[in-house]
Amino acid sequence: MIHDYDVIVIGGGLTGLRAALCISEAGLSVSLLSKVHPLRSHSVAAQGGMNASLGNVKGENGIEDSWKIHAYDTVKGSDYLADQDAVELMCREASATVIELEHMGTVWSRLENGKIAQRPFGGSGFPRTCYAADHTGHSALNALYENVMSNEINIFAEFFVTSLIIDEGCCIGCTALEIMTGEVHGFHAKAVLLATGGFGRVFNKSTNALINTGDGLALALSAGAMLKDMEFVQFHPTTLYGTNILITEGARGEGGILLNIDGEQFMERYAPNTIDLAPRDVVARAIEQEITDGRGFEGGFIHLDLRHLGSDRIMERLPGIRQIAMDFAGIDPIEDPVPVQPGQHYSMGGIDTDINGQTNIPGLYAAGECACISVHGANRLGGNSLLETVVFGRIVADKIIKDIEIIISKNDEVVENAMITANKMIKNILQRKGNEHLFNLKNKLAYTMTNKFGIFRDKKNMEEGLFEIKKIQEQIENVSLQNKDRKLNQALIRFLELNGMILIAEVLAKGAIARKESRGSHKRIDYPERDDIDFLKHTVVSIKDKQMYVSYKPVHLGLFEPKERVY
Amino acid sequence: MKIKVYRFNEKMDSPSYDTFDLEPKPGMTVMSALFQFQEKFDDSLSFHYSCRGAVCGTCAMLINKVPRLACRTQIESLLKGNLKVPIFPYPAIGKTISWDPEKEVLVEPLPHLPVIKDLIVDMDLFFKFYRFIEPTFKPVDFNSDEEMIMYPVDVKKLQVYTNCILCAACFGGCPIVGQNPKYLGPAALAKLYRFHIDPREAEGISRLKIADIPNGWWACESYGNCFKVCPKGVPPIKAIEKAVDKLNNSKKSI
């Protein structure tokens, strides 16, 4: 079956929904494809909040926040790798975006005077983070979904995209497997927007939803797009020991402190000024160091202590965190400290786009976590990712609306051929008879990535890791699935996901090995310093004739000159 | 211990149950047990999963005859008998198969929705009722550049209902939904009430009128299972009681 739309949006999280809404309001036909129901997207799990210089809460000495201070904090937080024009755009749009969501129904937490409340987050000079208790993503996602519903936008839920269709160098649609029926559909469009989120599940200790397998990145790379800055992976300092479920930075924003086994507030040694509210890369490294040096608890964790906040504040500001700690660790933060350890949390890198979300392939756009526009550079500040999703969901949609007048695309034959290829691929996977076990390989990959490309990296370990990745790439050829059905075959979906994840892992590995410096989240013990002369540039990886190529692109500076990053 | 899982696909005349042995580790959830089942026993087992942190609402199923989120339900606590929920009995949680709750965990699909395969149900009906109540925010008279003022006390009241993750545990747990497939159900009604009490909307009673129909507010018989099974502590029963009161009062005053 072939469907025809002006625009296809792939991904139903905050970015995808915001973009679809915008495109629909412009009078274009749009459909949204997602491998899960949109409300099950990972955006729903975002806890802490969204940054905007509303200035509803004054900073120290009564100074008023501004987009420019927000931009400065973001650029400094990025270790100067973010493109400053993109950062400026995001920070200028921030306040309007928070208000826009409010007008769609998001229930932001409020100050006594009725204005939207803001709290401090790591790496920010101001209480800048707007929040809906500690379920901000849930609140924003529901509001957007409700609006998408009322605009009667076509949603193809539980459709797994199997390929992007390229005709004469332009993206003209995609093929997708309808999970429930096993049928391959063709989608014909003038423009395709990828909004598929991050690839956290490439790692084994991750806060990400189980569905975050980076499908959009692998699709884009295979179609001829480029991936940028993939070596920059954020490890969140506080994930719950055992399940690695996120414990928001807002917990420290509200006054929570980190303690080692000696009961010492060790962050004072690592970041004397900002202490527990230093940026995530700094805090994650400090915790990892404490654990390595034997000052962690057995099993590899430290304590996040919230007890001094008192039960009222915990119940009001961090009710979700309390519930998570009770449900998944059997601990009530009112009574006991929460055991936490760093875990993969966010992908700063992604599909290489310009400031408007355009990739190097005409007709193909990307936004949100799957894209690298780049507003986060080498380290993202808490509260900036929710902001990015909604701001760029709209901006990229606007660009698509403008571009669509000049894009001409119509070629049913190419779509039909792509569907035949996708069907053959699926048939081939289901017919395989090798001895390799899908889930073993998946676990092996995730274990390798955490151990060889974790918080501290060096040449020897990373090269071993890359060797392992290449081996897994060969082994997946011999995977056979027990389940041979076309209909609702989750093993098949996991196989397709893993195929892409292996590709992403290789890109990450190659970028990380080639970047012989330490910057933001990319910390090399063999190259401990930042090297602006050789590496103040974006890594770009592409595939040509099955070969992977690493090259570089300049960083857009302009507002702030790079200087040493001290907290 | 054993996990006993409901199996069904369209090729089967009637459902069957598969039993899988596993060693419960501290912290092991029903969802992680299902993954083990899929990885070590049969990769054709189907169930919905996403966040594994009790926020996305995709994995509601019937566990030991109570609708719950698989990702949040601890095996050890179930076996110890710590997770008993005293819900009012209804046909869909009647006896289907015998199981020993001290040694086994029984996992079945969420009631009141058609089973597609194994633990996956068709949620279309649930979302049809959700759409019926017009769940879109309609603020009145606002300046598009400015935030609307709203006080913390109102936010607190609203959050009780905006916490809903649309997992449909209440839909599967409501005796009335089982009797009357046209009943809008607890989640949709709680959602409607959320918009009614939003101070930024000034629609008064008109929002409530959307469900002022026999299969809306009036169909509830106050069994209260909805509140008891909600993983987020949302009380649809309270919303329904208050809506009914308000509608009754408005009718009296006419």
Contact A245 B53 (CB under 8 A): yes
Together in a domain, B142 and B210 = yes
CA angle centred on B96, ends B95 and B101, rounded to 5°: 70
Contact A149 B135 (CB under 8 A): yes
> By the CB < 8 Å criterion, does B158 face chain A?
yes
Would residue A543 count as lying in a domain? no
A327 vs B10, B72, B148: nearest CB:
B72
Q: What 3-state class would DSSP assign to A456? A: strand
> By the CB < 8 Å criterion, does B136 face chain A?
yes
Supply the DSSP string of A155-218, one letter for each residue: EEETEEEEEEEEETTEEEEEEEEETTT--EEEEE-SEEEE-----GGGSSSBSS-TT-S-HHHH
For the segment A53-66, what is each residue's pLDDT rounded down to a tens digit?
999 998 887 888 99
Determine the distance in angstroms separating the CA of A98 from the nearest CA of chain B, rounded to an integer: 9
**pLDDT classification of B211: cutoffs 50, 70, 90:** very high
Together in a domain, B240 and B190 = yes
Q: Which residue of B has its CA nearest to A321?
A: B53
Record the pTM.
0.96
Q: Which one, of A390, A351, A389, A393, lies nearest residue A373 by Cα?
A: A351
Rounded Cα distance, A279 and A385, in Å = 14
A36 vs B50, B116, B134: nearest CB:
B50
Together in a domain, B166 and B103 = no
* Chain B residues with beta carbon closer than 8 angstroms to that of A246: 53
Rounded Cα distance, A280 and A206, in Å = 15
CATH number of B196's domain = 1.10.1060.10
Rounded Cα distance, B193 and B162, in Å = 10
pLDDT score recorded for residue B254: 62
Together in a domain, A74 and A212 = yes
Helix (H) / strand (E) containing B188: helix B186-196
> By the CB < 8 Å criterion, does B49 face chain A?
yes
Together in a domain, B7 and B114 = yes
Together in a domain, A273 and A304 = yes
* Chain A residues with beta carbon closer than 8 angstroms to that of B54: 323-324, 327
Determine the distance in angstroms separating the CA of A242 from the nearest CA of chain B, rounded to an integer: 8
Would residue A558 count as lying in a domain? no
Within 13 Å, how many C-alpha atoms sit on residue A531's CB side? 13
Would residue A419 count as lying in a domain? no
Together in a domain, B42 and B151 = no
CATH number of A272's domain = 3.90.700.10
Parent domain of A9: 2-232+346-403
Together in a domain, A109 and A241 = no
Would residue A544 count as lying in a domain? no
Together in a domain, A153 and A274 = no
Supply the DSSP string of B119-136, one letter for each residue: TEE--HHHHHHHHHT---
Would residue A538 count as lying in a domain? no
Helix (H) / strand (E) containing B172: helix B169-173
Together in a domain, A11 and A65 = yes
Together in a domain, A241 and A214 = no
> By the CB < 8 Å criterion, does A261 face chain B?
no
Parent domain of B133: 123-253
A114 vs B139, B150, B198: nearest CB:
B150
**pLDDT classification of A409: cutoffs 50, 70, 90:** low
Contact B149 A115 (CB under 8 A): yes
For the segment A509-531, what is each residue's pLDDT rounded down to a tens digit?
999 999 999 999 999 999 999 99
Residue B222 token pair: 């106050």
Together in a domain, B136 and B249 = yes
Instruction: Locate the DSSP E strands across A21-113.
Output: 30-34, 50-51
Mutate to test the interface with B, among A17, A56, A102, A201 (most CBs of B within 10 A): A102
What are the backbone angles phi and psi of residue A261, rounded to the nearest 5°? -65, -25
* Chain B residues with beta carbon closer than 8 angstroms to that of A160: none
Which of B120, B152, B184 is where one domain is finished? B120
pLDDT score recorded for residue A53: 96
Determine the distance in angstroms separating the CA of B253 from the nearest CA of chain A, rounded to an integer: 31
Supply the DSSP string of A491-558, one letter for each residue: HHHHHHHHHHHHHHHHHHHHHHHH--S-BTTBEESSS-S--HHHHSEEEEEEEETTEEEEEEEE---S
Distances from the Cα of B248 to the Cαs of A269, A334, B251, B254, in angstroms? 64, 42, 5, 10
The radius of gyration of chain B's CA atoms, rounded to the nearest angstrom, is: 20
Q: Which residue of A has its CA nearest to B117?
A: A488
pLDDT score recorded for residue B93: 93
Give me the interface pTM, i.e. the ipTM: 0.96
Together in a domain, A210 and A286 = no
pLDDT score recorded for residue A182: 97
Torsion of CA A305, A307, A310, A315, to 10 degrees: 70
Residues 182-211, chain B: which have Cβ within 8 Å of A? 198
Together in a domain, A216 and A290 = no
Would residue A416 count as lying in a domain? no
**pLDDT classification of A142: cutoffs 50, 70, 90:** very high
DSSP tag of A340 = E
**Are residues A316 and A306 in contact, defined by beta-carbon separation less than 8 angstroms?**
no
Which of B63, B91, B120 is where one domain is finished? B120
For the segment A214-227, what is each residue's pLDDT rounded down to a tens digit?
999 999 999 999 99
pLDDT score recorded for residue A221: 98
Reply yes or no on whether A280 is catalytic.
yes
B137 vs A39, A40, A146: nearest CB:
A146
Query: A497 CB contacts (<8 Å, ≥6 apart)?
Result: A201, A213, A215
Together in a domain, A436 and A373 = no
Residues 84-103, chain B: which have Cβ within 8 Å of A? none
Together in a domain, A217 and A296 = no
Which of B99, B120, B141 is where one domain is finished? B120
CATH number of B116's domain = 3.10.20.30
> By the CB < 8 Å criterion, does B34 face chain A?
no
Residue A363 token pair: 């007709």
How far the first Cα of chain B sits from its last, in Å, is: 62
**pLDDT classification of A538: cutoffs 50, 70, 90:** very high
* Chain A residues with beta carbon closer than 8 angstroms to that of B50: 36, 40-42, 209-211
Together in a domain, A113 and A153 = yes
Task: Report the mean per-residue pLDDT for chain B.
Answer: 94
Number of domains in chain A: 3
Rounded Cα distance, A200 and A194, in Å = 17
Task: Report the mean per-residue pLDDT for chain A.
Answer: 95
Together in a domain, B151 and B70 = no
pLDDT score recorded for residue B238: 98
Which of A403, A421, A449 is where one domain is finished? A403
> Is 80 exceeded by the pLDDT of residue B204?
no
Together in a domain, B153 and B247 = yes
Number of domains in chain B: 2
Rounded Cα distance, A369 and A393, in Å = 11
pLDDT score recorded for residue B6: 97
* Chain A residues with beta carbon closer than 8 angstroms to that of B46: 488, 490
Rounded Cα distance, B19 and B3, in Å = 6
Distances from the Cα of A480 to the Cαs of A189, A208, B55, in angstroms? 34, 27, 33
Q: What 3-state class would DSSP assign to A457? A: strand
Q: What 3-state class would DSSP assign to B149? A: coil
> By the CB < 8 Å criterion, does B108 face chain A?
no
Which of A343, A366, A381 is where one domain is finished? A343
Would residue A560 count as lying in a domain? no
Determine the distance in angstroms separating the CA of A323 from the nearest CA of chain B, rounded to an integer: 9
Supply the DSSP string of B66-123, one letter for each residue: EEEETTT-BHHHHHHTTT---PPP-GGGS-SS---TTTEEEEEPPTTS-EEETTEE--
CATH number of A438's domain = 1.20.58.100
Determine the distance in angstroms separating the CA of A554 from the nearest CA of chain B, rounded to an integer: 36
> By the CB < 8 Å criterion, does A101 face chain B?
no
> By the CB < 8 Å criterion, does B144 face chain A?
yes
Which of A382, A403, A424 is where one domain is finished? A403
Q: What is the mean predicted confidence (pLDDT) over A447-463?
A: 97
Contact A142 B162 (CB under 8 A): yes
**Are residues A161 and A215 in contact, defined by beta-carbon separation less than 8 angstroms?**
yes
Together in a domain, B139 and B113 = no
For the segment A91-100, what is each residue's pLDDT rounded down to a tens digit?
999 999 999 9
Together in a domain, B116 and B159 = no
**Are residues B70 and B31 in contact, defined by beta-carbon separation less than 8 angstroms?**
yes
Together in a domain, A246 and A374 = no
Would residue A484 count as lying in a domain? yes
Percent with pLDDT over 70 in chain A: 99
Lowest mean pLDDT among A196-210, A527-541, B176-190, B200-214: B200-214
B166 vs A39, A327, A488: nearest CB:
A39
Determine the distance in angstroms separating the CA of B156 from the nearest CA of chain A, rounded to an integer: 9
Together in a domain, B219 and B102 = no
pLDDT score recorded for residue A430: 96
Q: Which of A18, A40, A280, A380 is catalytic?
A: A280
* Chain B residues with beta carbon closer than 8 angstroms to that of A111: 152
Together in a domain, B155 and B224 = yes
